[in-house]
Amino acid sequence: MFKKTVAELSRALASKAVSSVELTQLFLDRISKYRDLNAFITVDPEKSLAQARAADARRAKGEAAALTGIPVAQKDIFCADGWLTTCGSKMLSSFIAPYDATAIARFSGAGAVLLGKTNMDEFAMGSSNETSHFGPVRNPWDPTTVPGGSSGGSAAAVAARLAPAATGTDTGGSIRQPAALTNLTGLKPSYGRVSRYGMIAFASSLDQGGPMTQSAEDAALLLGVMAGFDQRDSTSVDAPVPDFVAALDHPLKGLRIGLPKEYFGDGLSADVAKAVEAAIAEYRKLGAQTVEVSLPNSSLAIPCYYVLAPAEASSNLSRYDGVRYGFRAAEYKDLIDMYCKTRAQGFGAEVKRRIMIGTYALSAGYYDAYYLKAQRLRRLIAQDFEQAFEVCDVIMGPTSPTTAFKLGAKSDDPVSMYLSDIYTISVNLAGLPGLSIPAGFDGKGLPVGLQIIGRYFGEERLLNVAHQYQQATDWHRRLPKGFD
- Hey, which residues are catalytic here? 75, 150, 174
Count of CB atoms situated within 10 Å of the CB of 284: 13
Task: Give the SS3 label for residue 207.
Answer: coil
**Residue closest to 185 by CA, chosen among 475, 444, 483:** 475
Are 395 and 257 within 8 A, CB to CB?
yes
- Kind of pairing, strands 394-398 and 256-260? parallel
Residues 264/230, Cβ–Cβ less than 8 Å: no
**Residue 194 main-chain phi, psi, to 5 deg:** -115, 130
Residue whose C-alpha is closest to residue 129's, from 434, 446, 405:
405
Amino acid sitting at position 189: P
What span, in angstroms and rounded, lies between the C-alpha atoms of 137 and 74?
15
β-pair partners for 74: 117
| Nearest C-alpha neighbor of 377 from the set 313, 292, 306 | 306
d(CA 432, CA 427): 5
Cis, peptide link before residue 400, omega less than 30° from 0: no
Distance of CA 198 to the CA centre of its chain: 16
Provide the 10 A C-beta neighbour count for residue 209: 29
Give the helix ranges, DSSP H, for 110-213: 152-159, 176-182
The DSSP 8-state label assigned to residue 291 in this structure reads E
Q: Are 418 and 173 in contact (CB under 8 A)?
A: no
User: For residue 469, which of 203, 251, 154 has the smallest C-alpha distance?
Assistant: 251
Adjacent-strand bridge partners of 290: 257
Q: Give strand pairing partners of 85.
A: none
| Residue type (1 letter), 184 | L
